[in-house]
Amino acid sequence: MITIRFRRNKRMIGCGWPVKYFKVSRDNRDCKDNRVRSFLLLVFLLSAGVVAPVHFNYASAAPDQSSSPIPLQKIIDGTAPGEEAVLPEGVYEGPVVIKKKLKLRGEGEVTLVNRIPSPAVQIQAEGVEVYGIRIDQLEAGESAAVKVVGDDVRLERLTINTRGYGIMLRDSDNGIIRQNEITWKGNVDTPSDNKGNGIDLYNSHRNRIEENQVTRVRDGIYIENSKMTQITGNVVSQSRYGIHCMYADGALIRGNQGEYNYTGAMIMGVNDSRVIGNTFRLQSSNVNAQGILLYDVHRSVVTGNQAEGNRVGIYVDLSTDNQIDRNYLQRNFLGLQLNKSKNNRFQGNSFIANVLDAVASGSENNRMNGNYWDSFKGLDPDKDGTSDVPYAINPFYQQLIESNSAYQLFFQSPGMIFLSDLHMSDTQSWLTDQGPGMKPNSGSVREGAMNYQGAVLAAGIVMMLGAIYIIRLGVKRHE
């Protein structure tokens, strides 16, 4: 990677561009031409990824820790209820306890350091708001960087580096946790079970968790015995479970992203919840990895999600009466797995380039219709977009590798295909789509993919035009 740094040269009279790359004239018109050429070349190189963005040398943004940290508790104690305490740039010492309603806001680079095994910030009052502070929770263990036991609390734009938990709510309702960055900072080889969760709620209802970024924790967002929680627009990576909901009825999980976790979203013991428009990719490093796991889930909606590159796209276990539609399941080892689940509806889902489309075990009365399967070639004489021939999914291969995983070596071998064709008994129990779709179903996920493809195309056009201009410029110089 080449990095360009622009430096003013004494010979660059009136131009402001590096003579190292272009011949610069004192004539104003030539200067203007050189500026245009330099700009186009830089755009081309940046688009192609040949050079890194321009770097400017600023003073280090890290706060000066050579001086003694400022005790933050004294500032909080000196703030009247209902007032705002604005912290100037600097390093502050924790832990602190907030027992009255106030607003705490960092101005510039404000860092709170906590060196003992207790929460760096403990909020015990209603209506407390904390903004724009970096919190370094240095002690490993079960303590959190921020622990909340009051209602109507707002935590926003916090940067949390922790060796325990990130943000913990206990019996805390109607709060907002928004645009925070939470990273586990212990040893990289520490097992997940020895880490803390990024955002952890217990018996806390009607909270909003929005647009947070969580990395390398145990579970990114963990919700237990907490109803009507809204989890929207968060990004979780390199953790055990990206989103983990247990006994969290009425949850809304929308527009989140998860990558390189064991499981993207684990929804357990939940009723009347919605999982909408999320993207879970590359959950495949564990034998039990899934994009979305529904375990003991009932009367819920799972729609418009994308599960790509996971071991299992969507796993439905011991779940009933759910609506699972318009999801996009691509390049998973197994697109859909059902176990002891019944009366669920699967409609309008798209199964693309999965090793296995779907399997079902001990599941009955599941309604499947209008899904697209790229491995199935249907017949549509009336041109209504739906195949008149149903798609019955042969479970032979899945049953075989469950008994002996070594048989995976023979996947798609002629012998395996031959044996699969012979396995035609008990077809009534096979998972069957009564009217498969003839093409992938459109929806929010596919529209997002098209927008991404459009951006890539636009970048390609810029690169091509830049290359053409540079070639023409070289030809003119040789004329």
C-alpha–C-alpha distance, residues 20 and 6, integer Å: 10
C-alpha–C-alpha distance, residues 473 and 479, integer Å: 10
CA angle 442, 444, 450 (to 5 degrees): 75
Q: Determine which of 364-373, 376-385, 427-436 has the lowest per-residue pLDDT on average.
A: 427-436
C-alpha–C-alpha distance, residues 246 and 222, integer Å: 8
Name, of 56-60, 345-349, 453-457, the range with top average pLDDT.
Answer: 345-349
Q: What is the pLDDT of residue 335?
A: 95
Statement: residue 420 has pLDDT above 90? no
Q: Residue 150 — pLDDT band, cuts 50, 70, 90?
A: very high
Q: Residue 361 — pLDDT band, cuts 50, 70, 90?
A: confident
Size of the chain in residues: 479
Confirm if 229 and 207 have CB atoms less than 8 A apart.
yes
Name, of 8-12, 159-163, 421-425, the range with top average pLDDT.
Answer: 159-163
Statement: residue 366 has pLDDT above 50? yes
221 strand-pairing partners: 199, 243
Residues 6+ apart with CB under 8 A from 16: 8, 35
443 strand-pairing partners: none
Give per-residue pLDDT as tens, 251-306: 999 999 999 999 999 999 999 999 999 999 998 778 779 999 999 999 999 999 99
Statement: residue 8 has pLDDT above 50? no
Instruction: Using CB atoms within 10 Å of the CB of residue 270, give its burial: 0 to 12 exposed, 13 to 18 middle, 19+ buried.
Output: buried
Q: What is the pLDDT of residue 54?
A: 37
Q: Which CATH superfamily is domain 68-202+210-220 in?
A: Single-stranded right-handed beta-helix, Pectin lyase-like (2.160.20.10)
Instruction: Give the residue-averaged pLDDT of 6-25.
Output: 39
pLDDT > 90 fraction of the chain, expressed in percent and rounded: 58
Higher pLDDT, 346 or 398: 346
Structure tokens at 98: 């907030």
Q: What are phi and psi for residue 337, nearest 5 degrees?
A: -130, 130
Residues 6+ apart with CB under 8 A from 369: 346, 347, 433, 434, 435
Tell me which DSSP letter residue 181 carries: E
Q: Residue 13 — pLDDT band, cuts 50, 70, 90?
A: very low
Alpha-carbon separation of residue 433 from 65, 346, 387, 389, 436 (angstroms): 64, 9, 10, 9, 6
Instruction: Using CB atoms within 10 Å of the CB of residue 281, give its burial: 0 to 12 exposed, 13 to 18 middle, 19+ buried.
Output: buried
Statement: residue 396 has pLDDT above 70? no
Q: Residue 141 — pLDDT band, cuts 50, 70, 90?
A: confident
C-alpha–C-alpha distance, residues 440 and 382, integer Å: 18
Q: What is the pLDDT of residue 25?
A: 40
Alpha-carbon separation of residue 375 from 237, 353, 391, 440 (angstroms): 31, 8, 10, 12
Higher pLDDT, 463 or 370: 370
Q: What is the pLDDT of residue 476?
A: 56
Nearest to 130 by CA among 139, 121, 138: 121
Nearest to 308 by CA among 334, 338, 286: 334
Q: What is the pLDDT of residue 283?
A: 86
Instruction: Using CB atoms within 10 Å of the CB of residue 25, give its burial: 0 to 12 exposed, 13 to 18 middle, 19+ buried.
Output: middle
Q: Residue 224 — pLDDT band, cuts 50, 70, 90?
A: very high
Q: What is the pLDDT of residue 411?
A: 52
Q: What is the pLDDT of residue 427?
A: 58
One-character DSSP codes across 83-130: -EEEEPSEEEE--EEE-S--EEEE-SSEEEEE-SSS-SEEE-STT-EE
C-alpha–C-alpha distance, residues 467 and 35, integer Å: 17
Tell me which DSSP letter residue 197 carries: P
Structure tokens at 276: 């909408």
Residues 6+ apart with CB under 8 A from 35: 15, 16, 17
Structure tokens at 374: 């790229």
C-alpha–C-alpha distance, residues 217 and 64, integer Å: 28
Distance of CA 448 to the CA centre of its chain: 15
Give per-residue pLDDT as tens, 28-84: 445 455 555 655 555 555 555 544 443 333 223 344 445 689 999 999 999 999 999
Residue type, 401: I
Confirm if 161 and 133 have CB atoms less than 8 A apart.
no
pTM score: 0.76
Q: What are phi and psi for residue 193, nearest 5 degrees?
A: -65, -20
Confirm if 156 and 133 have CB atoms less than 8 A apart.
no
Q: What is the pLDDT of residue 14?
A: 40
Statement: residue 123 has pLDDT above 50? yes
Residue type, 126: E
Q: Residue 343 — pLDDT band, cuts 50, 70, 90?
A: very high
Question: For the chain, what are the domain ranges?
Answer: 2-52, 68-202+210-220, 240-441
Average of per-residue pLDDT values in the chain: 81
Alpha-carbon separation of residue 380 from 353, 394, 437 (angstroms): 22, 22, 9
Confirm if 292 and 271 have CB atoms less than 8 A apart.
no
Nearest to 120 by CA among 84, 72, 56: 72
Nearest to 291 by CA among 302, 303, 283, 299: 283
Residue type, 348: G
